[in-house]
Structure 1
Amino acid sequence: MAESLPCIPLKNIVIFPSLIFPISVGRPKSLAAVEHAIRHQNSQILAVLQHDIENEEPVVGDLYKVGTLCAVRRIEERDRGAQVILEGVKRVNILSQVDNEEFMELDYELRTDEVDAEKAPSVEIRALQNDNLELARKVANLMNPDKGDQIFKQFVANNTTPVLQAYRFGTKSPNAHFTTHQDLLEIRGVKKLLSTVGDLLRHDISVAEVQLEIQSKAHKINESGQREVFLRQQKRAIEEALGEDDGDDEIQQLKDQIKQINFPEETRTEIDRELKRLQKMSPQAAEYQVARSYLELVTELPWNTITEDNLDLAHSKVVLDEDHYGLDDVKERILEALAVLQLNPDAKSSILCFVGPPGVGKTSLGQSIARAMGRKFERMSLGGLHDEAELRGHRRTYIGAMPGRVLQAVRRSRVRNPVLMLDELDKLGRDYRGDPSGALMEILDPAQNKEFRDNYLNLPFDLSKVFFITTANTTHTIPAPLLDRLEILELTGYSEIEKVQIAKKYLIPRQIENAGIKTSQLKFTTAGIKHCIQRYTREAGVRELERTIERVARKRAKESLLKNALSKTVTAPVISELLGPEKFKADRMRDNIGDGVATGLAWTAAGGDVLYIEASLAPKEEKVTITGQIGQVMQESVKAARSYIWKAAGDLHIDRASIEDVGVHIHVPEGAVPKDGPSAGVTMATALASAYSKKAVREDVAMTGEITLSGLVLPVGGIREKVLAAHRTGIRHVILPKDNEAELTKLPDTVRDDMEFSLVNTLADVVEIAIPELKSAGLQEQPKN
């Protein structure tokens, strides 16, 4: 009579009755089947081999027709699934599949043929059983000549029946495929089962004899190689006795170099062992080049070489000011670090991380630090790095193995205390080959890097004297444990005034020199520089500005050769003539913006920008329509702003019913550019208040801030860049959250003195300033402490 049980489809193993097998279970349905069997089926479960091991969702048609009824003896949870110990009980015929979405459940019936019947073996069966025992003994002795008999006795100790013996020998056959095991499981007669197992054992004997023959030949070849090594050593001894030893020999050079280096004791022992191993090798051997390359690396690493630091703070300040304009806070922090090193050379300094948009001088600042300290500078880009071995090195067992990039950088610098810049930290990758950020934590941590072990070198190397600096465009993509080990120094974008000064002091002289033109022959006017900044670049840094100046210098250099004359002054019209059509229109404040339009401020990777948000009434059916490719956070800001306007409608002299009777359409221009973030909340609310009240927003006011349903204005980031964008556009009045007041100290004095700031706590304050026509005296009071 057919019964049903949960089933585990097996990929590459067959379970036999009376034998115990551990299996790994990872598929959710298989885990559910095991759990159900333990709880509801007295730990009974079916185990059936599937035809295609790649099939992750097999059905009954994908399984063999004969399986095994098993008992679940133990289950151990693992990271990816569980290990289940199954004991085979009876062979079964698979009939059909039961409809069950949680796990595979099959109808089955027990097999009742000769193999399953417990009958006393005949004389012929006993003879076959004894033959198989002798064959198994021979296999054991061939596989392990020293302990073959001992292994055989342990193996056959519990073989009580011919069938169990056959199953045991079949599972232990080193050359039997799992499909062969399935064939054994399906055999109905005991005689045929024993004969088939005997054939398997004879095949194992043939394979083992061939393997022994191959090993014997390989041993003879190895002895021949050892003889060659012995003869080479004799030859070397004779040459030394005759005084004909070549002093320039590679190994002798390595010996001399190693003697001159003061290694730690552990390192010296390991290197001497490796050197002796190299001496015994033939130069034609495959491992000779590997061992020689390893020892060459050892001799080229700066185990004891350290440059003397120049920690004079006055000198360092001069160098930093020579190379970079502004960045006073960052320079101050660098000088503090140098002061600590001067007072305590063994101090464990924090790892500096320069964070800022492209082109603001992060990499060049690292070069300036090295120049100020008198140290060697090495840069290593981490952008796109996915493999942990790129940092830790590859183990020498791999073909083409090489040391990690950190050790290579120290090797190139030839000193143990270089300034090592790890560039583009935020673009570090991660995949199945490992997590490079984990390796970086060890490399950067002063508590661990004193004995850093590169996988290739496999010896402790002291990195504690290396001055590590990292750079990133943003901290959002840096893993939290790694970020916790870094001291973040933000390099924000430059104002137009700062860019003009940078161009005059650094960029123009450098590009004029590169073009081969004397400074006296070509001069930029301030208006010309501003024209480059406003019409040909749109960035937070000065990288594109330098390229623009380079183009001007190249064109004037060409003209000097063709016409033998140079126009000495580069003005705005001259730049337009040389560089062609302008890439960008000048930022300017909108005139007559009308009802429902508010001016917001945004932060981008290229710096700050002005963002106009438009609100227009629409048919009631549309409710709230949002366009302009804005993200989830900005969409939620729209909903919060509309809810607040509805709540405060009476105070705003807006008919609440009119809000309910019409829809609203919010649009953020430049629809092809994705936008998101919470800082447009106050702008959204102001635009909606203007649209519903039909009162215009002041066109000379810009704003930023996050909002709440209760009308509070919360602080946001990027204040410096946003204010600079407003100033560049001609807007001189900016509404900011009160909690962002401290950020105003980061603004250039020239910009701060030229601006008016309104610091607010509530949307009531915002509306009162931005829409003077609304009588907002009755709006929500500011929260009291």
Structure 2
Amino acid sequence: MSKEVKSLPMVALRGMTVLPEMVTHFDVSRERSIQAIEEAMQEEGQKVFLTAQKDIEDEEPGMEDLQQIGTIASIRQVIKLPRNLLRVLISGEKRAVINTIEFTDPYMRANVTVIDNVNETPELSTDSEANSANLEAMARGLKEIYMEYVMRLPKYPKDMIKQIQEYTKLCQVVDQIAANVPLEQKDLQELLEEPDLLKRYQMLAFKLVNEMQIMDIKEEIQKKVKERVDQNQREYILREQLKQIREELGEDNTISDAEEFEAAAAKLKASKEVKEKLQKEINRFKSSMNSPAENGVIRTYIETMLEMPWDKAVKDHKDIAYAKKVLEEDHYGLEQVKERVLEFLAVRALTRKGESPILCLVGPPGTGKTSIAKSLARALKKPYVRISLGGVRDEAEIRGHRKTYVGAMPGRIAAGLRSAGVKNPLMLLDEIDKVSNDYKGDTFSALLEVLDGEQNYRFRDHYLEVPIDLSEVLFVTTANTLQTIPRPLLDRMEVIEVSSYTENEKMHIAMEHLIPKQLKKHGLKSEQLHISKGAVWKMARNYTKEAGVRQLERKIGDICRKAAREILENKKDTVRVTESSLHKYLGREKYTYQKANLTDEVGIVRGLAWTSVGGDTLQIEVNVMPGKGEMILTGQLGDVMKESARTGITYIRSIGREYDIAEDFFEKHDLHIHIPEGAVPKDGPSAGITMATAMLSAVTGQKVRADIAMTGEITLRGRVLPIGGLKEKLLAAKSAGMKTVLVPEENKEDVEELSLEITKGLEIIPVSHMEEVLRRAFDIDQKE
């Protein structure tokens, strides 16, 4: 920076910055500025110092109110204008920094130091030729950016473009471009205050590129706005033209959408509250004609309201004989369900209305819970609506979304009513046990309002905003388990258990329903494919393992496909599938049942278990070996079964004297309890008496009857507690060839409810204490 100091008249500019090489003009109105210009005109060289004010509203700025770096300029022309104005044409020359302001009256005079350009000819490389090439490349690059920038500016002077293109030195290009492009004042001030040429070059290039990006964004936004406005204008013009054409053609019968809505609302069977809400929305629809977005939302809402069956109901079918016939046609067995439905119909016929029950069908997969609901709808001649709740976790799925949201729609309940077309359909809520919750609300609580008879006559859907009467809807729900259903919701429903099918029931279902269904599905006639009862029986026992009949139906489908191919390839008229030829169509057997042992053994007892695919038998084995009194449990036992084993060993130790067991026996021996198929987890409160019997047999050496099976939980004092899943367990015992089954005394009533088909061939003995269990297992009465 040089030490050249000058004393010059000074003019404070408002909202303007002058750069070196800039030729521009400005108007002067303040008396001090006019005096400064006149003084500069009288001095040698006609020089004036120009700097910008920080605040353009300040009339008498001081040292601290001015930018410290300004420009020394030559005055080229002064023109006097009316109202005591001067128009001054100047040419910027050099940067300068204010040292002091000498005086401010009658004009401002400043003592300034001239700032030389830094790096006016910068050395970018040690090689002079390379350095020259780099500087020329930078100058050309900046000129290209400048050309791209000014081409976007309307009415930019072409002679200025030509003039700048003639400059070759980087310093000239930077100063000339900075002086002749329309940048904001703060950007010009930053360029003025930067004496380093390279930094000024980078700053200018960045600002020009940034300005072009802003122009691109602005242009894109304007284009989108224009397109939207043009589209709205086009739609408006087309509507007006269509209206005019209709008038010219004399089509007076053509009425507006609003009039159509009003006519439909007048015919709608609904309460006064609903009609008032509907009329209010129609009025809003009329006033929103010029706003397509709002108009579309209101139109959708009105159409939804008009489609809802507010007071439209289907007449109940009260023919009990017809309902019984339909239920018998569609399903084999399920007596409890059929009886409950017929009872409901009888009450409905007598009271003419009756309270609609909420039936909850609970059972394993594939047992026909969903098809029962469909048959019930057919028996009642009601519209059938199925709503799958599996995985629903948003409360809005049930209650609907507020219509202020984008894409709002009614909840599943309201949508189900709309699709049914009546207010009293049969509505199936499928998989209610698989509903989940998250941060969006409690779905179970929303279902509580739907299924509660004291609340659902005024169910509020968030989208519709008016109450819906659900009291006449016949709700049927299905679930695989009751464990995940909250107690308050479960309390509102009448639970009907749909238990596992027996093999005989599976055979009847297959022959009467599944085979005809699959024949029709695969394009076969009954005379083309014949499957024997023995083949169906074997499929149910050895090719499927399930509580329902879903896998069995798939196996029948496999046979139908292979039979269809055989008929076409071998030109056969009929294909017969028997028990002996079944492996030809389905391959080797997948499942085998572990039969009863042929001989009585020590430490081996057959237990019974319930699984999600029916019942099964568990052979519990116990070995005794010298040790330190430890108890080893293997076979993937759960916590409940481990506790049952500990309870059983405690009970055995308490009665050790009765069986002549040495007092120190359990301190010198280890017990190993194992349940085969160790890869399969096992748990449940029903194996207590089985493990206790096996342990006592192993300790005393007494043999346990091979044809006896047992189920029940044990207490420390030897009481036998009740269990669940008795039907499935007895079916498993029967399949395994057991002759005697010990069940808890408290399950005696459950045994009486079972059909003869299940209990036939089994000696079912109720027991209340371990003494009875041991006496039967060791066959002590017979030995005595």
The question of a shared fold, defined as TM-score above 0.5 by the shorter chain, is answered with yes
Measured after TM superposition, the shift of residue 567 of structure 1 is 4.3
Measured after TM superposition, the shift of residue 635 of structure 1 is 0.8
Q: Secondary structure at the match of 1:600?
A: strand
Distance 1:676 1:562 in 2: 51
Query: Which residue is 1:156 aligned to?
Result: none
Query: Which residue is 2:640 aligned to?
Result: 633
Q: 1:617 to 1:514 in 2, by over 3 A?
A: same
Measured after TM superposition, the shift of residue 375 of structure 1 is 0.4
Measured after TM superposition, the shift of residue 231 of structure 1 is 14
Q: Secondary structure at the match of 1:262?
A: coil
Query: Which residue is 2:52 aligned to?
Result: none
Distance 2:584 2:255 in 1: 65
Alpha carbons 2:629, 2:667 under 8 Å: kept = no
Alpha carbons 2:624, 2:699 under 8 Å: kept = yes
1:352 counterpart (330, 350, 359): 359
Q: 1:462 to 1:742 in 2, by over 3 A?
A: same
2:742 counterpart (723, 735, 739): 735
Measured after TM superposition, the shift of residue 566 of structure 1 is 4.3
Residue correspondence of structure 1 range 135-146 to structure 2 within 5 A: none
Out of 294-303 and 735-744, give the one that drifted further: 294-303
Normalising to structure 1: TM-score of the pair? 0.67
Query: Does residue 1:332 correspond to 2:339, yes or no?
Result: yes
Query: Does residue 1:312 correspond to 2:322, yes or no?
Result: no
Deviations 1:481-527 (A, max 9, x none): 00011111011101111111111111112112222221122222221
Distance 1:230 1:567 in 2: 71
- Amino acid across the alignment from 1:675: K
Distance 2:501 2:770 in 1: 31
Q: Secondary structure at the match of 2:656?
A: coil
Query: Which residue is 2:497 aligned to?
Result: 490
Q: 1:232 to 1:548 in 2, by over 3 A?
A: closer
Residue correspondence of structure 1 range 28-107 to structure 2 within 5 A: none
2:703 counterpart (664, 686, 696): 696
Query: Which residue is 1:751 aligned to?
Result: 758
Measured after TM superposition, the shift of residue 599 of structure 1 is 0.6
Distance 1:394 1:319 in 2: 39
Distance 1:669 1:501 in 2: 34
Distance 1:727 1:411 in 2: 50
Q: How many residues in Structure 1 have an aligned counterpart in Structure 2?
A: 555
Distance 2:253 2:394 in 1: 43
Normalising to structure 2: TM-score of the pair? 0.67
Q: Secondary structure at the match of 1:572?
A: coil
2:679 counterpart (672, 682, 688): 672
Q: Secondary structure at the match of 1:666?
A: strand
Q: 1:616 to 1:565 in 2, by over 3 A?
A: same
Query: Which residue is 2:556 aligned to?
Result: 549
1:383 counterpart (390, 395, 410): 390
- Amino acid across the alignment from 1:345: R
Q: Secondary structure at the match of 1:734?
A: strand
Alpha carbons 2:387, 2:430 under 8 Å: kept = yes
Q: 1:753 to 1:583 in 2, by over 3 A?
A: closer
Q: Secondary structure at the match of 2:747?
A: helix
Measured after TM superposition, the shift of residue 618 of structure 1 is 3.7
Query: Which residue is 1:431 aligned to?
Result: 438
Q: 1:506 to 1:244 in 2, by over 3 A?
A: closer
Q: Secondary structure at the match of 2:601?
A: coil
Query: Which residue is 2:479 aligned to?
Result: 472
Query: Which residue is 2:604 aligned to?
Result: 597
- Amino acid across the alignment from 2:550: R
Measured after TM superposition, the shift of residue 344 of structure 1 is 1.5
Q: Which ranges of structure 2 fall in alignment gaps of 5 or more residues?
A: 1-224
Distance 1:238 1:534 in 2: 76
Q: 1:452 to 1:651 in 2, by over 3 A?
A: same
Alpha carbons 2:629, 2:668 under 8 Å: kept = no
Measured after TM superposition, the shift of residue 652 of structure 1 is 2.5
Measured after TM superposition, the shift of residue 434 of structure 1 is 1.1
Measured after TM superposition, the shift of residue 239 of structure 1 is 7.8
1:608 counterpart (604, 608, 615): 615
Distance 1:700 1:388 in 2: 54
Q: Secondary structure at the match of 2:651?
A: helix
Query: Which residue is 1:172 aligned to?
Result: none
Out of 274-283 and 443-452, give the one that drifted further: 274-283
Q: Secondary structure at the match of 1:303?
A: coil
Deviations 1:548-580 (A, max 9, x none): 111111110111111110444211232211111
Alpha carbons 2:398, 2:443 under 8 Å: kept = yes
Deviations 1:19-41 (A, max 9, x none): xxxxxxxxxxxxxxxxxxxxxxx
Query: Which residue is 1:412 aligned to?
Result: 419
Query: Does residue 1:648 correspond to 2:682, yes or no?
Result: no
Distance 2:744 2:697 in 1: 20
- Which is higher, the Rg of structure 1 or of structure 2? 2
Query: Which residue is 1:501 aligned to?
Result: 508
Query: Which residue is 1:717 aligned to?
Result: 724
Query: Which residue is 2:733 aligned to?
Result: 726
Distance 1:452 1:283 in 2: 35
Measured after TM superposition, the shift of residue 638 of structure 1 is 0.5
Q: 1:586 to 1:424 in 2, by over 3 A?
A: same
Q: 1:261 to 1:632 in 2, by over 3 A?
A: same
Distance 1:238 1:498 in 2: 71
Distance 1:425 1:601 in 2: 30
Query: Which residue is 1:514 aligned to?
Result: 521
Out of 262-271 and 582-591, give the one that drifted further: 582-591
- Amino acid across the alignment from 1:317: K
Measured after TM superposition, the shift of residue 423 of structure 1 is 0.8
Distance 2:429 2:630 in 1: 51
Alpha carbons 1:652, 1:774 under 8 Å: kept = no
Deviations 1:306-357 (A, max 9, x none): 1122121111111111111111122111111111111123322321100111
Alpha carbons 1:229, 1:280 under 8 Å: kept = no
Q: 1:665 to 1:258 in 2, by over 3 A?
A: same
Distance 1:431 1:621 in 2: 52
Alpha carbons 1:357, 1:540 under 8 Å: kept = yes
Query: Which residue is 1:455 aligned to?
Result: 462
Alpha carbons 1:695, 1:774 under 8 Å: kept = no
Q: 1:667 to 1:465 in 2, by over 3 A?
A: same
Distance 1:238 1:504 in 2: 67
